Amino acid sequence: MVVKNERLLGPVDSAFFYVETQKNPMNIGAVCIFDGVMHFDELVKLVDSRIHRAPIYQQKIVQTPLNLGQPMWMYDPDFYVGNHIFRLRLEPPGTEEQLRQLAGRLVSSPLNRDKPLWEMHVIEGLSDNRTAIFFKVHHCMVDGLAAVELLTLLFDLTPDMPEIEPKPLYDAPSIPEKTQLVAGALQRDVSQGFKILRKVGGELSFIGSLLSDKEKRRKTFIGMANLLNDNLRPIRRLPINGKNSGRQALAWTEFSLAEVRAIKSGRNASVNDVM
């Protein structure tokens, strides 16, 4: 099996990656609660057998030295699913409040950037003979819906455990040397530079036609003045503004899909809008 080993992060995903700090981790967290006791080793085997269907979960971010280029997704040659799945246990009585506090602590810590940016925590000891899974993934990898897609990939619609399928064999490509990363970034920058020059040429032509047309010139200046007026006003301080402590919290409630559909009906909205 041959795999492609290089994919650039887009501008938005790069922003999520770069704005992260120790006190502002850019994580998405989800808690799933299941009836019954979950067998940890079997879950690890299941994830290991299916993770190849979502290649992004086997890839880590590689940065060009001195940030000369955009960060890239590359297959982690040392990827091992056991480095991402952890086992935890709540102290008795194992209430949902204890689970919420634990999930808040887990989501508040940044992910290890030396490996693919996701974790799964199997949480045992929940009351009423239940097991929870806390799933954490970096926002630069997926949005909320894409994170749910991984869960639908892992979980089945019937209680019957399917036979664990053999995963395809492949050799993960090695991470390029630093000199290769720099050379690749410079090559992309040169190519992008020519594209920008061509675009600038078109913009200069547009500006020339704009300056020669009195009415267009008047509308443009009015638009620019309104834009500056709207964006240069002092920003009003809100009650939520304050120093970031770095602590995050998770909370949840239960409702039916029928309730969601009732809310969206007549409002020209989708189920995703309500969620």
Q: What is the mean pLDDT of residues 258-266?
A: 87
List the domain range (segments joined by +) for residue 160. 7-175
Q: Count structural domains, the chain.
A: 2
Write down the pLDDT at residue 86.
98
> Does 204 share its domain with 167?
no
Q: In this structure, are residues 45 and 164 in contact, taking their beta carbons and an 8 Å threshold?
A: yes
Catalytic residue among 84, 121, 138, 139: 139
In angstroms, the first-to-last Cα distance of the chain is 38
Per-residue pLDDT tens digits for 98-120: 999 999 999 999 999 999 999 99
- Whether 124 is in a domain gets the answer yes
Distances (CA, A) of 215 to 99, 121, 161, 226: 64, 63, 71, 17
> Does 65 share its domain with 26?
yes
Write down the pLDDT at residue 15.
92
> Does 63 share its domain with 110?
yes
> Does 85 share its domain with 191?
no
- Whether 255 is in a domain gets the answer no
> Does 80 share its domain with 126?
yes
Question: 182 versus 9: which is more confidently predicted?
Answer: 9
pLDDT bracket for residue 2 (50, 70, 90)? very low
Alpha-carbon span 162 to 101, nearest angstrom: 34
- Whether 262 is in a domain gets the answer no
Q: In this structure, are residues 20 and 117 in contact, taking their beta carbons and an 8 Å threshold?
A: no
139 has catalytic annotation = yes
Per-residue pLDDT tens digits for 6-27: 788 988 999 999 999 999 999 9
- pLDDT over 70 at 196, yes or no: no
Per-residue pLDDT tens digits for 200-226: 566 656 666 666 667 676 777 777 777
> Does 159 share its domain with 226?
no
- CA gyration radius, the chain: 24
- Whether 155 is in a domain gets the answer yes
Question: 117 versus 265: which is more confidently predicted?
Answer: 117
Q: What is the pTM of this model?
A: 0.77
- Whether 167 is in a domain gets the answer yes
Alpha-carbon span 107 to 96, nearest angstrom: 16
- pLDDT over 60 at 89, yes or no: yes
Q: Please report, for the domain that includes residue 167, its CATH number.
A: 3.30.559.10
Q: What is the mean pLDDT of residues 36-46?
A: 91
